[in-house]
């Protein structure tokens, strides 16, 4: 159980770039990916902005190296692209028989993007009814495993907006238990009418670009994307140089309400403090917090209260990177883990865009400018979800 878990590869596609290099450029230039919706077919175009990837499914398929579109959802295409990049960046061959490999993914809507187009036409037969079988959240996971050659295990997690933080945590535990040596861990979620309308009924979508931790914040912007990490045991790592080490993680439940967080942020408090405990770090050793920071009234307040409770008067630099990517739901934990690793590797904290005025209830303000040349030893990344599913990851430099 004392096994260490290293990150050797990262891959990402989201509104600010179709790979880690593009995402990094956008982050360094403080360039948001929030825009009017032009790809998703919805009546809310022009009304609700989102972190939409400006590529059609056909363009995504070309990028993913997929020729047969018959059974491909946008969710699986995004997943294939990010997973392929992660694998390439890790320089490993998953077919190497010396190591047990698996794909541990996450999604909240699975193949909903195709279900919502086709489900009233299933009775017409092919090609509509091909998408009956791509609805499952596990569909994209299996496509990734088969295309990239991961064999020994597939698993998919869905805990709303914390899904892929949990898939990273589960993958790490599988490695620590010696069940896997190498795992591709992350998540994928395409923008869909289902989620856009769903969050709209909750009245927590901002019609402007979101502004987490701002006094005037009114809600979030949805996004879409996929991100994966290649996690490896010490043995599988050998003498290669990792990008980062996953030093801590925790999962707790707020157990308060299906959608609202407890007033004192107890779940977030538990997940952060338990992740610190797991890593053996003191709060003072955290160099930067990549907050969940959705921009909703409720989240930012309760997350902020929990952060204050743990860090007291010594709060590290904080930013939410959702104003760049939008809230990518099941992919968010992995998207932000990749951004945290980019922060560590490039010694840069990316600012909390659109922030203007301090919240009355909190003592701290988020980072407002690009901060370069900071040695980031340990980064804490939060992901909180409906149903009180709260998770925290701690990534450390190597």
Partner 1 sequence: MEAYIRGIGNISPQATFDNGVFLEEIREYRSARLQAIEPDYKQYIKPIQLRRMSRLLRMGVTSAGICLHDAGIEKPGAIITGTGLGMMEETEKFLNGIFDNGERLLNPTAFIQSTHNTVGAHIAVMLNCNHYNLTYVHGPVSFENALLDSLMWLAEKPDDKVLTGGVEELTESHFIITDSIHFWKKGGISNLDLLKDKNPGTIAGEGAAFFLLSKQEDPGNYAIIKGLSTRFNPGKDHIAVRYTEEFLASHNLGMDDIDLMLLGLNGDPVSDETYRPLLQHLEGKTPGAYFKHLCGEHYLASSFALWLAARIVKSQAIPAAVMLNPGQAPGKINRILIYNHYQNIHHSLMLVTSC
Partner 2 sequence: MQELTEKLKKEIIEVLNLEDVSPEDIDADASLFGEGLGLDSIDALELIVLLEKNYGIKIEDPKEGRKIFASVRTMAEYILEHQKK
Q: Give me the active site residues, please.
A: 161, 292, 327
Cβ-based burial of 154 (10 A; exposed 0-12, middle 13-18, buried ≥19): middle
- 164: closest CA among 340, 377, 378, 33? 340
Does residue 42 belong to the site contacting partner 1 (CB under 8 A)? yes
Binding positions for partner 1, 227-256, rule CB under 8 A: 251-256
Among partner 2, partner 1, none, partner that 75 touches (CB below 5 to 8 angstroms by kind): none
CA torsion angle 194 197 201 205 (round to 10): 120
Does residue 79 belong to the site contacting partner 1 (CB under 8 A)? no
Beta carbons of 387 and 258 less than 8 angstroms apart: yes
Does residue 259 belong to the site contacting partner 2 (CB under 8 A)? yes
Per rule CB under 8 A, count of chain residues that contact partner 2: 7
Q: Looking at the chain, how many residues does it have? A: 398
Q: Under DSSP, is residue 60 helix (H, G, I), strand (E, B) or coil?
A: helix
CA distances from 58 to 31, 61, 63, 67 (A): 26, 5, 9, 9
Q: C-alpha 294: how far from its chain's center?
A: 12
Burial call 43-73: b when 16+ CB within 10 Å, e when fewer: ebeeebbbbbbebebeebbebbebeeeebbb
Nearer to partner 1, 99 or 194 (CB): 194
CA torsion angle 291 294 297 302 (round to 10): -30
Per rule CB under 8 A, count of chain residues that contact partner 1: 66
Phi, psi of 358 (to 5 degrees): -65, 140
Binding positions for partner 1, 173-192, rule CB under 8 A: 173-174, 177, 179
Among partner 1, partner 2, none, partner that 198 touches (CB below 5 to 8 angstroms by kind): partner 1
Question: In angstroms, what is the minimal distance from the CB of 298 to partner 2?
Answer: 9
Binding positions for partner 2, 198-227, rule CB under 8 A: 201-203
Stretch of residues binding partner 1 (CB under 8 A), selected from 75-83, 86-94, 113-121, 295-303: 113-121
Does residue 108 belong to the site contacting partner 1 (CB under 8 A)? yes
Does residue 360 belong to the site contacting partner 2 (CB under 8 A)? no
Stretch of residues binding partner 1 (CB under 8 A), selected from 26-34, 108-116, 219-227, 357-365: 108-116
Does residue 359 belong to the site contacting partner 2 (CB under 8 A)? no
The binding track of 255-294 with respect to partner 1, each residue x by CB under 8 A or -, is xxxxx------xx--x------------------------
Beta carbons of 397 and 279 less than 8 angstroms apart: no
Interior angle at CA 220, CA 216 and CA 225, nearest 5: 150
Q: H or E element: which one contains 4? A: none
Q: Under DSSP, is residue 125 helix (H, G, I), strand (E, B) or coil?
A: coil
The number of CA neighbours under 13 Å toward the Cβ of 183 is 31
Nearer to partner 2, 129 or 259 (CB): 259
Question: In angstroms, what is the minimal distance from the CB of 40 to partner 1?
Answer: 11
Question: In angstroms, what is the minimal distance from the CB of 203 to partner 2?
Answer: 4
Does residue 392 belong to the site contacting partner 1 (CB under 8 A)? no
Among partner 2, partner 1, none, partner that 255 touches (CB below 5 to 8 angstroms by kind): partner 1
**C-beta atoms surrounding 111 within 10 Å:** 27
**What's the rounded Cα separation, in Å, for the pair 188 and 76?**
7
**What's the rounded Cα separation, in Å, for the pair 61 and 73?**
10
**What's the rounded Cα separation, in Å, for the pair 99 and 95?**
8
Question: In angstroms, what is the minimal distance from the CB of 298 to partner 1?
Answer: 14
Does residue 241 belong to the site contacting partner 2 (CB under 8 A)? no
Among partner 2, partner 1, none, partner that 254 touches (CB below 5 to 8 angstroms by kind): partner 1
Binding positions for partner 1, 345-384, rule CB under 8 A: none
Nearer to partner 1, 87 or 104 (CB): 104
Binding footprint of partner 2 on the chain (CB under 8 A): 201-203, 257-260
Binding footprint of partner 1 on the chain (CB under 8 A): 1, 42-44, 107-108, 110, 115-116, 119-120, 122-123, 125, 129, 132-133, 135-138, 141-142, 145-146, 151-160, 166, 170, 173-174, 177, 179, 193-194, 197-202, 251-259, 266-267, 270, 385-389
């Amino acid at each position: 159980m004392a096994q260490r878990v290293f990150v050797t590869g990262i891959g990402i596609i989201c509104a600010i770039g179709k790979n880690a290099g593009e995402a990094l450029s956008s982050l360094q230039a403080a360039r948001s990916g929030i825009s009017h919706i032009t790809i998703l077919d919805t009546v809310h175009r022009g009304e609700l902005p989102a972190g939409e990837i400006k590529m059609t499914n056909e363009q995504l398929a070309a990028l993913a190296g997929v020729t047969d579109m018959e059974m491909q959802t946008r969710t699986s295409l995004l997943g294939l692209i990010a997973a392929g990049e992660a694998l390439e960046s890790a320089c490993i061959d998953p077919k190497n028989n010396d190591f047990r490999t698996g794909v541990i993914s996450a999604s909240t809507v699975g193949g909903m993007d195709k279900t919502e187009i086709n489900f009233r036409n299933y009775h017409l037969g092919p090609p509509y009814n091909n998408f009956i079988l791509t609805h499952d959240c596990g569909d994209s996971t299996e496509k990734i495993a088969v295309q990239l050659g991961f064999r020994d295990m597939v698993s998919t997690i869905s805990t709303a907006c914390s899904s892929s933080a949990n898939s990273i945590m589960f993958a790490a535990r599988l490695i620590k238990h010696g069940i896997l040596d190498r795992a591709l861990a992350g998540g994928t979620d395409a923008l869909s009418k289902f989620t856009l309308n769903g969050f709209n009924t909750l009245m927590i979508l901002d019609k402007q670009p979101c502004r987490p931790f701002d006094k005037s914040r009114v809600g979030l912007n949805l996004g879409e994307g996929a991100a994966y990490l290649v996690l490896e045991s010490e043995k599988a790592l050998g003498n290669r140089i990792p990008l980062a080490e996953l030093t801590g993680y925790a999962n707790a439940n707020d157990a308060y309400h299906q959608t609202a967080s407890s007033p004192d942020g107890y779940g977030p408090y538990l997940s952060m403090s338990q992740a610190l405990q797991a890593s053996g770090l003191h709060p003072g050793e955290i160099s930067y917090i990549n907050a969940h920071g959705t921009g909703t009234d409720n989240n930012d307040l309760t997350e902020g209260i929990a952060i204050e409770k743990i860090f007291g008067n010594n709060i590290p630099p904080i930013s939410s990177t959702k104003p760049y990517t939008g809230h990518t739901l099941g992919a968010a934990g992995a998207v932000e883990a990749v951004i945290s690793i980019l922060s560590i590797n490039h010694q840069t904290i990316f600012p909390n865009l659109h922030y203007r005025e301090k919240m009355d209830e909190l003592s701290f303000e988020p980072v407002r400018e690009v901060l370069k040349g900071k040695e980031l030893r340990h980064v804490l990344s939060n992901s909180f979800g409906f149903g009180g599913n709260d998770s925290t990851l701690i990534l450390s430099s190597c």
